[in-house]
Structure 1
Amino acid sequence: MSRRTSTLAAAGLLVLTLVAVAMLLPVPYVTMRPGPTVDALGDYDGKPVLEVEGAKTYKTDGELRLTTVSVTRADSRVSLPQAFTAYFDPKEAVVPRDLVYPENQTAEESRQENAAQMASSKLTSEAAALTAAGYEVESVVEIAAVTEDGPSDGVLEVDDVLVAIDGTKVTGTDQAVKLVSSKKPGDVITLDIRRDGKDQTVKVTSEAATDDPSKARIGVSLGTDVELPFPITNNLGESIGGPSAGLVFALALYDMLTPGALTDGATVAGTGTIDAAGAVGPIGGIQQKLAGASSAGAKVFLVPDGNCAEAAASDDFGMRLVRVETLDDAVNALEKLSDDPKATVPTCS
């Protein structure tokens, strides 16, 4: 073999080696694929997804399916061939890793964040559904945290509902802070609270606020919550996380608590966050959720208004894409389609 031939062979081998190494090295991206769908009117792991106690429920029909996206785990890495394959698959997507997982976030931290978002989604969906169904839902101020060795340590507990401060009814977090800070440091403040459903009165000796010594503080952080008129159990568990199932949870509860069936036996899928007032918010992975819904047999897909442009530019897989901004929008559209599958409803176009 000549020197030139051997040099070319060595160079070729080096290039092949470098290419092989590059193919094995992870790239800073994650893949998104269609995840499982779950019928919120059905069962999950042998239990009803939603259970209502102490209120009349009505027979439902059809399916209301929440949709999910399967994303590369935080502790996994995507290779170049995997990213390349996903990029050219119309049902998948490749996105920068830091858009999904903040830098240095662990897999456990990601799981906890998704679980917290799902818990919040369950609560707001319940509040929205019950309000739409005609029930009274009370918004309350609760103790979110108690400062260790602070004035309220040993007196107040996390999740205590703050009912009144020195006889003034508490109506919001800002108002509660103003009521306390208007006192003088060292004043004894009387708090009416509700703990585990039982009302009681406690007293806390205030201290000076660190940022303004002229104002009082009691060493707690406040949050907002809602109190429902009867218990609702969501048995979905933590296998599915994030806030995007809120709209479908709310629809399923509304369907259970009101006469008639929203879907008239059809399979309807959807996605979207929801707040306690019923406003629907956009989500990520709409393309993958559309694909998953189609595979589950859905003919109608409820799309948050903020995702409509993206959904319209994607493959609709033969489904009717219904645009919704609120829970009322979704209910009205499904009622119209139940009466007439060809009815005119807001769409993504």
Structure 2
Amino acid sequence: MPRRTATMLASTLLLIAMLCAGLLIKVPYAEMSPGPTVNTLGEHDGEPVLSIKDRRTYETSGHLNMTTVRVTGADYRMNLLEAVGGWLQHDSAVVPHSTLYPENKSAKEVDQQNAEEFSASQESAKVSALRELGIRVPSYIIVGSVVKGGASEGKLHAGDLIRTVDGEPVKDPKGVADIVTKHKPGEKVRFTIIPAADVKAAQKAGKKPSPRDARQVVVGTKKAEDDGRAIVGIQPAAGHSFPFDIDIKLADVGGPSAGLMFSLGIVDKLTREDLTGGSFVAGTGTIDDKGKVGAIGGIQMKTVAARAKGAKYFLTPSANCPSASKDKPDGLTLVRTGTMDEAMDALEKIRNDDTAALPRCKAG
């Protein structure tokens, strides 16, 4: 066999072997890519994303789109070729599998955490929106989550309103921990609560939870593994009593990153002023009860998704600006946003066509 033919044959066989190896070799990575983007002012799967009852609402125009990131499943294992392809693509990111799915958590636990964060973000979005409009929102302390296998499992439930701990009223989540840790492991703590179901019923009716629904629950403490303090296995959080019903419906979305856009959508529906002036604005960012906007993950995937959908402006958490600016899609203006007030100010500039004055993101 001629040397040239033999060389070509050997090269072809080597290439085939490498391709086969690439398909068969599994690597510990996951892929992130642009996900769906939904207008919080519109509908999704035939239902309004935001529904407000017992309060006057106004017509809106334009877009206030929340953005998402699509990720490979917890049980999916990429092969080497897929990983290399993802690294080379402009609009995807390959990250260690443990970044998205920590080894100490099951896929179910990760999904549950994402669902809880999404629910909490909706709560904060409502609070920040109403407070932006000067509407009072009374707050109280609730059981944010219950640790699986912890002392409170089956006794306390997420959403229970905590009135007192050992007879002492609590004004913030830290106050619950302060009282519990006064005990020694094994001692009992007495909670006065209003069950979550009664709290939700009161909220639906636009009323405050009634003290008449309160009952006592006694929980034995356990010893914390890290420092030996007494714990009851709950995460206290702030709950709120809203003056009217605000319902956010968006299936198959998790995590806290849509908080800012939900909040702006609520404000837009409750005010006569058209916030966007008909412009296509997208964005992302967590938000807390005081209107502070926080950083999120997958920012470059979200800007790509927003621009592909037609967005011209993207409200970007200040902390994400350096990363987002590195590979900004053409035609998309990244607007630096640190608070709800700054987002509202940016929207005013957009609808008044004063875009030169917008605070833009800069590369780090």
TM-score by length of 2: 0.80
Report if aligned partners of 2:61, 2:278 keep a CA contact under 8 Å in 1.
yes
CA contact (8 A) 2:189 2:221 kept: no
* Structure 2 residue 221 is the aligned partner of structure 1 residue 231: no
Q: Who is 1:85 aligned against?
A: 85
What is residue 55 of structure 1 aligned with on the other side? 55
2:351 maps to a residue whose letter is: S
What's the counterpart of residue 122 of structure 1?
122
Deviation at 1:18, TM superposition (A): 3.4
1:252 corresponds to 2:265: yes
Distance 1:161 1:20, change over 3 A: same
SS in 2 for 1:316: coil
260-269 or 131-140: bigger deviation: 131-140
* 1:262-295 Cα deviation digits (max 9, x unpaired): 1011110001111222111111222221111111
Q: CA deviation at 1:72?
A: 1.8
Show the counterpart of 1:173: 173
Equivalent AA in structure 2 for residue 89 of structure 1? Q
Give the CA deviation at 1:324: 0.4
The question of whether the paired residues in 2 share the 8 Å contact of 1:186 and 1:206 is answered with: no
Q: Which has the larger radius of gyration?
A: 1
The answer to whether the 8 A contact 2:165-2:191 is kept is yes
1:333/1:191 Cα in 2 relative to 1: closer, same or farther (>3 Å)? same
The one of 198, 206, 218 aligned to 2:210: 198
**Any residues of structure 2 matched to 1:321-336 within 5 Å, and which?**
321-336=334-349
Q: What's 1:265 paired with?
A: 278
User: What are the Cα deviations for residues 308-335 of structure 1, in whole angstroms up to 9, with x where unaligned?
Assistant: 1111111232111100011111011101
SS state at 2:58 partner: coil
- In 1, the alpha carbon distance for the partners of 2:263 and 2:193 equals 29
The CA distance in 2 between the partners of 1:294 and 1:223, in whole Å, is 39
Distance 1:85 1:154 in 2: 47
Q: In structure 2, which of residues 309, 313, 322 is the aligned counterpart of residue 300 of structure 1?
A: 313
8 Å CA contact 1:190–1:202 kept in 2: the answer is no
Q: Is the Cα contact below 8 Å between 1:185 and 1:206 reproduced in 2?
A: no
CA distance in 1, matches of 2:349, 2:322: 23
Paired position in structure 1 for 2:19: 20
1:93-132 equivalence runs, <5 A: 93-103=93-103, 105-132=105-132
Matched, 1:309 2:308: no
Gaps of 5+ in 1: 212-216
> In structure 1, what is the equivalent of residue 42 of structure 2?
42
C-alpha distance 272-14 of structure 1, shift in aligned 2 (>3 A): same
Partner of 1:74: 74
Question: Contact conserved, 2:180 with 2:232, CA < 8 A, in 1?
Answer: no
Alpha-carbon distance change, 9 to 300 in structure 1, aligned in 2, over 3 angstroms: closer
CA distance in 2, matches of 1:86, 1:21: 18
What is the rounded CA distance, in whole Å, between the counterparts of 1:208 and 1:330 in structure 2?
44
Alpha-carbon spacing, 1:175–1:62, altered in 2? closer, same or farther (3 Å): same
The verdict on how the C-alpha distance between 1:149 and 1:185 changes in structure 2, with shifts beyond 3 A counting, is closer
| CA 89–140 in structure 1, closer or farther in 2 if over 3 Å, else same | same
Alignment pair present for 1:280 and 2:293: yes
Gaps of 5+ in 2: 199-208, 225-229
- Equivalent pairs counted in the alignment come to 342
Q: 1:50: Cα distance to partner?
A: 0.9
Describe the shift of the 1:256–1:339 C-alpha distance in structure 2 as closer, same or farther (beyond 3 A): same
